[in-house]
Amino acid sequence: MDKKYLQMIGKCSRCGGCQAHCPLYLETGREPFVARGKIELLDNLAAGKLVWNDKLAEVFSTCLLCGSCTENCPNGVEPDKLVRLARKDLVAARGLPIIKRNVLQHLLKHNGRLNTAGRLLGLYQKSKLQLLIRNTGFLKLISTNLANIEGLLPQITGQPFRKNVPLLNTVDAPRLKVAYFTGCATNWLNPHIGRSVVKVLKAYGVEVVVPEQYCCGVPALSSGDMDTGRYLARENIRNFSELDVDYIITDCASCLSAWLEYPELLENDDALNLAARVMDINRLLVEILDVSIPAKESGVKVTYHDPCHLKRTPGGRTSPRELLKRLSPYYEFVEMDLADRCCGSAGSFNISHYELSQSVVKHKVASILDSKAEIVATACPSCMMQLGHGLKKNNSDVKVQHTIELLAHLL
C-alpha cells in the first residue's frame, strides 16, 4: 500500500458518523459495508494481519462508491477512493473474475467487438427471442437473479448513435464549437438522448463534433483494473486532443467524473488541458449559453434525481435544477425528498448485487411517488435504468427522462 493510502487510513477516527449516510449500511446494518468497517479491514490488511480472500473480496465489492461518506466525513477521509485503491490491490493479488475480465479487457477496449455485442443484443430483443424466454420463465429456472437482471435491460436499437450522426454538425454563425463525448449508454441504449443533445445545441447556435471515442473507463477504474482504465483514458485523450473546440460536453454523470480524473490518472498536460474544458450538458446550457426557453403552457409536474457522480462536480447540483425551472410553465419543477440519495445503480452494482440495489432504490421510488410528479428527470443513463426498473416494479407510470430530452421537446 502506498504512503497516501496509509495516511488516509490514519485520518479515520472510527467515529462511525458514516453509518448515518451509507445507503448500504442503512439497509443491512452490517459494519463491513460501511466506511468505518472497510477502513478497519484495510488497516489490518496493511499491517499484515489479514490477506485478501473471497470474503474480503465480497466486502469490498459491496460499495456503491456514491461518496456520501466522503461528503460527510468530519476528518476529510475519502473512503470511496480508499475502496477503489483496495480494489486495485485486490485485482493485483487475485485477478479479476473471468466474466468481468473479458468484458473490461476484451470488449470495452475494442469498439468493433462492442458494436457486435450491441447488435446481437438488439437482435435478441427484436427477434422475439427475449419475449419467448421471458414468457417461458427459462431464466428463472436457471436463476431468479438472472431473470431480474435481464429485466434491467432497456430496448437496444442495434444501431449505435455515433454511426448515424455526422462527425460535424454545423450551424450558421456558431456561438461555440463543442466536442460531444456520448459515452456507451447514449451510443447504444439511449440514442434519443444523443439526438436531443445535438438538436438542442444546434438550436442555440453551437456546432457539435462527434469524434471517434472509447468507453470513459469508469467500469474498469471502479473494478480496480487500472491498466484498462488508463488505456481507455489515453485513447480518448488522443482522439479529443486533435480537435479545435471550446468545450467537451457529455450527458453522462459517470463519463464526466471519469474525464475529470484523467489528469491524476495519466499525469500529462494533454489530460490536464482537456479536463479543464469538460462540462456536463446542463451546466453548459445554464452557465455558458444562459438559455431562455420559449414559453408554452402545460403544467406537467417534474421532479429531479441527483446522480452521485454529477452532484460533486461544479454546478452539478444547481445547473440541472435551474434548467428545469427555466422550462416553466410547460414543466412545473417540484423538489422531492431524498433527491440526492444514491439510487443503488452504481454502474454494474445493480447487476452484481441485484436484491440489495433494489432495497436501496425503493426509497427513491417512494420519494418520486410522494412528489406526485409525472416525470422524474436526471442526468445519468445508469440512474435512468435503475429508476425505470424500480418504478416498473411498483407498477408506476411515472416516466424517467434525461433533462435534455425535456428541453428538446419544447424546441
Outline which parts of the chain fall under CATH 1.10.1060.10: 3-94
Q: Which residues, other chains included, contact 77 with Cβ-Cβ below 8 Å and sequence gap of 6+?
A: 8, 11, 12, 35, 39, 69, 70
Select from 3.40.190.10, 3.40.50.300, 1.10.357.10, 3.40.50.1860 the CATH code of 161-287: 3.40.50.1860
Residue keyed to cell 452557465: 287
> What span, in angstroms and rounded, lies between the C-alpha atoms of 182 and 179?
9
- pLDDT tens, N- to C-terminus, the chain (411 residues): 677 778 889 899 999 999 999 999 999 999 999 999 999 999 999 999 999 999 999 999 999 999 999 999 999 999 999 999 999 999 999 998 888 888 888 888 888 888 887 778 777 777 777 777 777 766 666 655 666 777 777 777 778 899 999 999 999 999 999 999 999 999 988 999 999 999 999 999 999 999 999 999 999 999 999 999 999 999 999 999 989 999 999 999 999 999 999 999 999 999 999 999 999 999 999 999 999 887 788 889 999 999 999 999 999 999 999 999 999 999 999 999 999 999 999 888 888 899 999 999 999 999 999 999 999 999 999 999 999 999 999 999 999 999 999 999 999
> What span, in angstroms and rounded, lies between the C-alpha atoms of 207 and 170?
5
Q: Which cell is 200 given?
A: 438542442
Say which CATH architecture domain 293-409 belongs to.
3-Layer(aba) Sandwich (3.40)
CB 233 within 8 A of CB 262: yes
Fold observed for domain 3-94: Fumarate Reductase Iron-sulfur Protein; Chain B, domain 2 (1.10.1060)
Q: Parallel, antiparallel, or unpaired: how do β-strands 375-378 and 300-304 relate?
A: parallel
Outline which parts of the chain fall under CATH 3.40.50.1860: 161-287
> What span, in angstroms and rounded, lies between the C-alpha atoms of 34 and 79?
9
**How many CA within 13 A on the CB side of residue 347?**
23
* Cβ burial 168-192 (10 Å sphere, 16+ → b, else e): ebebeeeebbbbbbbbbbbbbbbbb
Classify 238 as helix, strand or coil.
Answer: helix
Residue keyed to cell 475529470: 260
Q: Which cell is 327 given?
A: 422550462
